[in-house]
Chain A
């Protein structure tokens, strides 16, 4: 079946004329039609756009003007502005928002000739770890419909896991690519902060937000990251450095690789089955010639409180643009200007978004700035410095992505703090701005578990090399839930 092929195989078959991009795209559209009503992984499906882009891609392939990804369809998280297509960020606030321009990532993948299948579901404004806070309803985990797919890029992870897209874009502010990748048994990488342009990505917390690929395998992610990354002058924090070829190290041997394993990551709170899966995966990589050393990240517990001050503080500023004035939701019959602002925002935002804006504004308010925001920024440096010290002892750090496998829909939705704490392994990486990968490593309680591989700045090619080599000796990344095979 076409949806079981790797990206490289798809590309070869497209060039060999075994099938066309229109056929491949239609295959995915048919699967979306068949399966998505239940999964709720897409907010918007764009069949006409997809087919017209596939027709263009077929012309390029026939003319010999194709890149490796030309003709391969993609699903964009509904946080990426897509010209002429509804871009809701899973919020009632933007339910009527037809983006008037493309995000840089969308532009780059359009230039590659990748047909757009649609826009995937997510937590409202990317604020969440379960995709339950979407205005359009929760997405289900393809492995178990009672479970969440993780979040915030839960729709993206679910469409890859169920074979409703071969590649998907995601964003990761506190773990939003890696945790859903872990929960859905797929591969996802958060690149170094600034490697992929934020232009046209609806902002949540700008000093953390980073986009990356979500795919079946590390090799697929490497190809996709090649297409997504690069300097963009329209993003003031885009890194001005030459974009490397992220596929170049894929085949390299892991002999001599030093894996740092932080003792703090295997303590209290970690599910014992998840712990066993992660340890077994590390042993598998050790058997490929790597060496395990113990490292320490003593300030890891400070990361969650620090993040939940800083990210909402940034959000409170970023989301002040939603005022019912220039785009998005406006309340009915406002009495005056203040009533318009207040009711548009109160009716347009969901509960968790309002909570984060309120807590962020409070942390920045007179009298509290030093105790909360400034303190959190200092802790951010301490968490970052822990990683820098640890990388003097090792090449990469490995551990769990999340303390448990996917939890049930509704299980944590009334307990924000418990939901926040479930990001304890992913958040420190965002505070430090480091790249990190999640690769499928096994199952716990019949739900997928990912291995978290964190590297120094700009080590994406190394991380993908490790992921790819691990996937040469394991088959977790090829597994699909029976009903979607």
Chain B
């Protein structure tokens, strides 16, 4: 399966990754090469095979419903690109 400009633009929107106009063709080609590898799966007969999500077929462990996090916003926000008064700063969203 080969991808074109429309698909690349769609994936770019899904992933919030910008693809410059002059790079679209190259990106489409490289992604198409990978999809060709995926196509090898088609030949396998998977009827009656259950999908496997965990190697040991384990189920999600639940933890006790208790508070485990302590307030350390000052430490965690010290590494933020922009933060003030316990808030993360973003470009203005509402006019």
Interface of A toward B, CB cutoff 8 Å:
96-98, 100, 193-194, 207, 233, 236-237, 239-240, 299, 301-302, 304-306, 308-309, 316, 320, 323-330, 334-343, 345-346, 349, 354-355, 357-359, 361-363, 365, 372, 374-382, 384, 416-417, 420, 431-434, 457
Contacts and interface: CB of A to CB of B under 8 A. Distances in A.
B60 A236 contact: yes
Given A100-B75, A336-B91, A340-B90, A379 B33 contact: no
A302 B14 contact: no
Interface in B36-65: 36-42, 44, 46, 49-56, 58, 60-61, 63
A236 B53 CA distance: 14
Contacts, number: 161
Contacts of A302: 40-41, 44
B34 A327 contact: no
A306 B41 contact: yes
A377 B41 contact: no
B91 A358 contact: no
Contacts of B80: 325-327
A97 B76 CA distance: 11
Contacts of A239: 56, 58
A342 B51 contact: no
Given A100-B76, A299-B44, A316 B15 contact: yes
Given A327-B80, A420-B34, A434-B55, 20 more contacts: A194-B56, A305-B40, A308-B38, A309-B41, A325-B80, A325-B90, A330-B81, A335-B91, A345-B16, A349-B17, A359-B34, A363-B38, A372-B38, A376-B41, A378-B46, A380-B52, A381-B51, A381-B52, A420-B37, A457-B56
B60 to A, nearest CB: 6
Contact of B41 (A305, A327, A349, A432): A305
Contacts of B14: 361-362, 365
Interface residues of B, number: 51
B49 A357 contact: no
A293 to B, nearest CB: 24
Contact of B82 (A193, A330, A376): A330
Contacts of B91: 334-337, 339-340
Nearest to A336: B91
B55 A193 contact: yes
Give the dominant DSSP class at B's interface: loop
Contacts of B92: 336
A377 B75 CA distance: 40
A375 B47 CA distance: 10
Contacts of A316: 15
Contacts of A240: 61
Given A327-B79, A341-B16, A236 B61 contact: yes
Given A358-B27, A362-B11, A378-B50, A384 B79 contact: no
A76 to B, nearest CB: 19
B17 A345 contact: yes
Nearest to B77: A326
Contacts of B12: 358
A342 B16 contact: yes
A233 B61 CA distance: 9
A299 B44 CA distance: 9
B90 A337 contact: yes
B17 A346 contact: yes
A308 B38 CA distance: 8
Contacts of A309: 38, 41
Top 4 nearest A-B pairs (CB, nearest first) are A433-B55, A377-B51, A330-B81, A381-B52
Contacts of B42: 375
A339 B93 CA distance: 12
Given A362-B31, A432-B55, A308 B11 contact: no
B58 A304 contact: no
Given A302-B41, A305-B40, A375-B41, A343 B15 contact: no
Contacts of A326: 76-77, 80, 88
Nearest to A431: B55
A338 B93 CA distance: 10
Contacts of A374: 51
B56 A433 contact: yes
B13 to A, nearest CB: 9
Contacts of A336: 91-93
Contacts of A357: 15, 17
A365 B7 CA distance: 11
